Amino acid sequence: MTNIFKLFKYALPYKKQMFWAVFAMIIQVAVAFVIPFIMQYIIDDALATRNITMVVVLSLAMLVLAFLGIGAGFLNIWTSQYISQHASAELRLDLFNKIQTLSFKNIDDFKVSRLITNATNDIVRVQMFFTMMLRMIIRAPMMIVIGLVLALTTSIQLSQVFFVTMPLLIVTVIIIMIFAYPRFKRVQTALDDLNNTVLENANAPQVIKSFVSQPHEVERFETMNENYRKVNTSAESVLAFAEPVIFLIFNLGVALILLFGAHYFELGTEAFFIDGRPRVGLLMAFNQYSQQILVGLMMFAMMMIFVSRADVSAARINEIFNAKIDLENPVDGKKIKLKGAITFDGVSFGYGEQGNKVIKNINLTINPGEKVGIIGSTGSGKSSLVSLIPRLYDPQHGKIYLDGESLTRLDIPTLRQQIGFVTQQATLFSGSLGTNILQGNEKASLEALEVSAKDALIYDFAKEQDAYFNYLVKSKGTNLSGGQKQRVSIARALIRQPKILILDDATSAVDLASERKILLAIDKLDYRPTLLMISQKVASVRRMDKILVLNNHGEVDGFGSHEVLMKESTVYQEIAKSQLDIGGGQNG
């Protein structure tokens, strides 16, 4: 249970509310025991002697106590909910911040679906623990201890019933815990798999529909859904088993009290009579005390079930918090103003500890302001190569230098603020057209926004809209075409005036004429960034200062101008010949 108690620190700042929650809970427990104590006197003394005044006074006292208990109950519920809501909100925020610091490798290891479950379902489990903690964790032992003291004080003889009920209840709780914990752990893992299936389908509706693979996806989801149902049913069956068994023990206790009471009444035991009258109130009071004890034990059992479920979720959350970030910002990282020189010195990189190297022994130097095209067959490592420059990943071998400084010695935020990265898959967020572009530089002026939009050829689209740059973009840019999304992404990179601009096949959905206009606009930029442009088209890279050609093994096959590569690079020659009508010479 250590995992859940590590997260208890999120509830500690709310000491004032915690005090009132505990105070209200003590009042509730006290009222629950005082009422049967008063009831005993009403039955055995007031009613037996026909003292109506005492009956009225004690009845009114019980009524006042009942309302006091109700008020204390409301106060306890409100404060416990307040603490649980605020504590879980702080926990969720810290978890989100931690997820933001995870490297790409960390995210690959955890999987996105797992992180979604952590930030939603697992947090809810912990939130429920915070609530139950303040409503049960102190109340249960108080009810058990006070109930036992009052029960023993009321009748030693009837207390023999606890020799039967308490061991049965304790054994039941232990058995439930043994069977419940591993099941709850499997439930969360199955939920991860279910979320992953939903996430994959939500991210690729076009592929699924165009390939008419809905039946396959439905079947795959049904498999995951059925697995989750089975695992969850297995876990819930433990709770389903627990409830009737606990109530059986509860009712068994009541039956035994009545049986023992009848036995002692029949024997004429002195403690069960007062002035020759049977003490029915004593029997009822003892029954109430025993019920309070059993309710306390039942609360304790339910609390342990909630704790075991929450502990599984807490363990998964703590695993995220304890994750070692494999790519961290150096403590004394240098905050230099980049000029744009890039050097790869024997760089090799692969995904995973044992993964195959996607790029191998890359050695090249790119001068500030140079335009470099990167071309190669699919899977040759082009995207992996450029992802190393803003330190999205670190190479396993070799070093990368920017302006002569080792990349690992540079301050990461400062580094990335000077790099414009347009990814292969254009990613837009729900909001306006302007906010998506301004993500590249939130402090940019309207004039800068318009200039970057013009350079990326998205300005005319904005001008056509009634809302101008306030035109609402739906999540993932579903109300924009592929080319428009790419242009918005390019504008987002240009508005930050980067010293290194990376276009990772960022113009694949843009026609050649528009692509040339964008590249011409980049040529005319005052700050002259170093441009790295990945493309599958020879026509797109042939006018670059240099072209980097990668072969199928992630190795450099050539690095030079179009003319040089047509003579020296076999891979480039093959690509050019296959695109002869658009890149080999006819459009030259």
Helix axes 214-267, 280-321, angle to 10 degrees: 150
What single string gives the DSSP state of each residue in 296-333? HHHHHHHHHHHHHHHHHHHHHHHHHHT---SS---TT-
Residue 191 identity (one-letter amino acid): L
Is residue 219 within 8 Å of 197, Cβ to Cβ? no
Is residue 385 within 8 Å of 374, Cβ to Cβ? yes
Confidence of residue 206 (pLDDT cuts 50, 70, 90): low
Is residue 369 within 8 Å of 529, Cβ to Cβ? yes
Q: How far apart are CA 7 and CA 123, in angstroms?
A: 11
- The 8-class DSSP code of residue 425 comes to S
Confidence of residue 348 (pLDDT cuts 50, 70, 90): very high
Distance of CA 57 to the CA centre of its chain: 57
Nearest C-alpha neighbor of 118 from the set 318, 322, 303: 318
Nearest C-alpha neighbor of 570 from the set 559, 558, 581: 558
Q: How far apart are CA 336 and CA 414, in angstroms?
A: 8
Question: In the predicted model, what is the mean pLDDT of residues 505-525?
Answer: 85
**Could you identify the residue written with the tokens 């998205």?**
458
Residue 406, C-beta contacts closer than 8 angstroms, at least 6 positions apart:
399, 400
Confidence of residue 139 (pLDDT cuts 50, 70, 90): confident
Q: How far apart are CA 328 and CA 325, in angstroms?
A: 6
Residue 306's Cβ-side half-sphere holds a number of Cα atoms within 13 Å equal to 20
Is residue 350 within 8 Å of 358, Cβ to Cβ? yes
Q: Which of 42-56, 88-102, 121-135 is predicted most confidently?
A: 88-102
Residue 430's Cβ-side half-sphere holds a number of Cα atoms within 13 Å equal to 2
225: number of Cβ within 10 Å: 16
Residues 324, 330, 335, CA angle at the centre, nearest 5°? 145
> Residue ranges of the alpha helices (H) in 205-278?
205-210, 214-267
Nearest C-alpha neighbor of 291 from the set 175, 151, 195, 408: 151
Question: In the predicted model, what is the mean pLDDT of residues 43-65?
Answer: 82
Question: In the predicted model, what is the mean pLDDT of residues 17-44?
Answer: 85
378 phi, psi to nearest 5 deg: -60, 130
| Tokens, residue 60 | 């009114």
| Tens of pLDDT, residues 455-495 | 999 999 999 989 999 999 887 788 888 888 889 999 999 99
Is residue 508 within 8 Å of 483, Cβ to Cβ? no
For domain 2-321, the CATH architecture is Up-down Bundle (1.20)
Is residue 1 within 8 Å of 313, Cβ to Cβ? no
| Tokens, residue 478 | 């579903």
Nearest C-alpha neighbor of 259 from the set 164, 370, 374: 164
pTM, 2 dp: 0.70
Distance of CA 515 to the CA centre of its chain: 39
Question: In the predicted model, what is the mean pLDDT of residues 278-291?
Answer: 78
Q: How far apart are CA 111 and CA 194, in angstroms?
A: 12
Q: By percentage, how much of the chain surpasses pLDDT 70? A: 95
| Tokens, residue 105 | 């490798």
Q: Which of 28-37, 476-485, 539-548 is predicted most confidently?
A: 539-548
Residue 78 confidence (pLDDT):
93
SS3 of residue 511 by DSSP = coil
Sign, CA dihedral 29-31-32-34, equals positive
Q: Is pLDDT above 80 for 64?
A: yes
Q: How far apart are CA 18 and CA 12, in angstroms?
A: 8
Q: How far apart are CA 15 and CA 79, in angstroms?
A: 11
Q: By percentage, how much of the chain surpasses pLDDT 90? A: 30
**Could you identify the residue written with the tokens 């030079």?**
560
Q: Is pLDDT above 80 for 238?
A: no
Residue 164 identity (one-letter amino acid): V
Q: How far apart are CA 510 and CA 180, in angstroms?
A: 56
**Range in 209-218, 330-339, 511-520 with the lowest mean pLDDT:** 209-218
SS3 of residue 156 by DSSP = coil
The CATH homologous superfamily to which domain 425-497 belongs is P-loop containing nucleotide triphosphate hydrolases (3.40.50.300)
- The 8-class DSSP code of residue 467 comes to T
Confidence of residue 248 (pLDDT cuts 50, 70, 90): confident
| Tens of pLDDT, residues 423-451 | 888 888 888 999 999 989 989 999 999 99
| Tokens, residue 248 | 């059986």
203: number of Cβ within 10 Å: 13
| Tens of pLDDT, residues 290-317 | 878 877 877 777 777 777 778 888 888 9
Edge-to-edge strand list for the sheet holding 397-402: 357-366, 342-350, 397-402, 405-406
164 phi, psi to nearest 5 deg: -100, -50
Nearest C-alpha neighbor of 206 from the set 476, 537, 536, 436: 476
Per-domain boundaries in the chain: 2-321, 425-497
Confidence of residue 588 (pLDDT cuts 50, 70, 90): very low
**Could you identify the residue written with the tokens 């695993």?**
319
SS3 of residue 205 by DSSP = helix
Q: Is 270 exposed, middle or buried (0-12, 13-18, 19+ CB in 10 A)?
A: exposed
| Tokens, residue 94 | 């810290």
